[in-house]
Amino acid sequence: MGRKPDISSFVKGNIAALNSEGYSQRAIARRLHISLCAVQNALKSTDSSTSGRKNCHGHRKTSARDERFLKSIVTSSPTTSSARICQMAKDRGINISARTVRRRLVDDFSLVARRPAKKPLLTKAQIAARIKFSKDLVDKPTEWWHQVMFTDESTFQQVRSTGYNYVRRPVGERLNPKFTIKTVKHPPTLMVWGGITAKGRCGLHIFPKGEKVNAAKYIQVLEEKAKIHMNITGATILQQDSAPCHTAKSVKKWLTDNGIQVLENWPPNSTDLNVIDTVGCNCWLSMKQKVAAHKPTSENHLADILRHVWVSEISPEYCKKLVESMPSRIRAVLENRGYPTKY
């Protein structure tokens, strides 16, 4: 049974008044419907506006030194579990539970357990390339990026994982289809090429199943999709990553012969800089979510849905918003010293 709350200042005032009138402590307790102990404690208190009750919490099992030790563990190794920290503390003679470990880390140091962001591993050379690229373009205004067509390839599956790690369900409903995530062995997969500009989405090319994207195929895509839509949208600069089929000599020659300027020195492993390919906020992610909502049933159905979503559900306003985020992305790379950003 929990302890009763402290009596209010109003009741304490009544106790003091009745006591000054000559009432006994027992009479005061009966009159105010409180315990005799509460009356005695109120009369002992020198300040009726504060609680006379002492700290009712148990003895704190950890000292300031112990708590600094707990913090040092997660500072040096942030992925260490509370159970492991508890065992390490016990090895030092600190007899606490894993729950106490979590409470100390959260309450005293605001070290809450969170899901780590998944970001690409970058080498020193890649970090340096990202910094150089960003410094070269940091002063470009938003309007400058309107002339760039951002392009990339991506794969789409018939059944896409939602990425959810939790589901809220009643007890005993674990196998209810409503609360399960559906999986398919070897689901149909299609690779697509697409491009966007500040004026909206451009061409979408769906590669036949099993077709290898080499330099010759890439030139065909550029001829049929990129070149035409660059003329339509007024884009004069083509952005592409450094995939082997993009940097082949034959591709470079085709780009030169057709007067298409390429955004130079694009840093490798930099999805956060490509508005169509970013992991957290990009055109492909939005499109995959929209395609999954249509629940494709076969490879042909998947291809039809891809075309429908690309034409009908990727709006020009959304593409413009993505393109105009480039200055912020550039600054974020420099502020994070070349390491991956929130994008």
Q: What is the residue-wise DSSP string for 139-183?
A: T--GGGGGGEEEEEEEEEESS-----------TT-TT-GGGS---
- What pTM value is reported for the model? 0.70
Say what the pLDDT of residue 157 is: 82
Say what the pLDDT of residue 335 is: 96
Closest residue by Cα to residue 147 from 218, 199, 222:
199
Say what the pLDDT of residue 53 is: 53
Amino acid occupying residue 197: T
Say what the pLDDT of residue 4 is: 66
Q: What is the pLDDT of residues 283-302, one digit of tens each?
A: 888 888 888 888 888 888 99
Domain borders along the chain are: 1-54, 64-109, 124-335
Q: What is the pLDDT of residues 41-78, one digit of tens each?
A: 888 874 444 445 555 556 788 899 999 999 999 999 99
Contact residues for 253 (Cβ-Cβ < 8 A; gap 6+): none
Helix (H, G, I), strand (E, B) or coil at 253: helix
Say what the pLDDT of residue 101 is: 93
Give the Cα separation of 37 and 284 in Å (integer): 70
- Provide φ and ψ at 140, rounded to 5°: -70, 130
Say what the pLDDT of residue 49 is: 46
Is residue 114 exposed (0-12), middle (13-18) or buried (19+ Cβ within 10 Å)?
A: exposed
Give the Cα separation of 317 and 324 in Å (integer): 11
**Residue 189: DSSP 8-state:** E
Closest residue by Cα to residue 148 from 325, 341, 336:
325
Residue 264 C-alpha from the chain's centroid: 30
Say what the pLDDT of residue 317 is: 93
Same fold, 1-54 and 124-335: no
Q: Does domain 124-335 have CATH number 3.30.420.10?
A: yes
One pLDDT digit (tens) per residue for the chain, 343 residues: 456 667 888 888 888 888 888 888 888 888 888 888 888 888 887 444 444 555 555 678 889 999 999 999 999 999 999 999 999 999 999 999 999 999 999 989 989 888 888 888 999 999 999 999 999 999 999 999 999 999 999 888 876 554 556 777 888 888 888 888 777 677 778 899 999 999 999 989 999 888 888 999 999 999 999 999 999 999 999 999 989 999 999 999 999 999 999 999 999 999 899 988 754 456 888 888 888 888 888 888 999 999 999 989 889 999 999 999 999 999 999 999 999 998 8
Say what the pLDDT of residue 48 is: 44
Give the Cα separation of 287 and 99 in Å (integer): 42
Tell me whether strands 189-197 and 200-206 are parallel, antiparallel or unpaired. Answer: antiparallel
Residue keyed to tokens 């994070």:
336
The CATH number of the structural domain formed by 1-54 is: 1.10.10
Say what the pLDDT of residue 67 is: 92
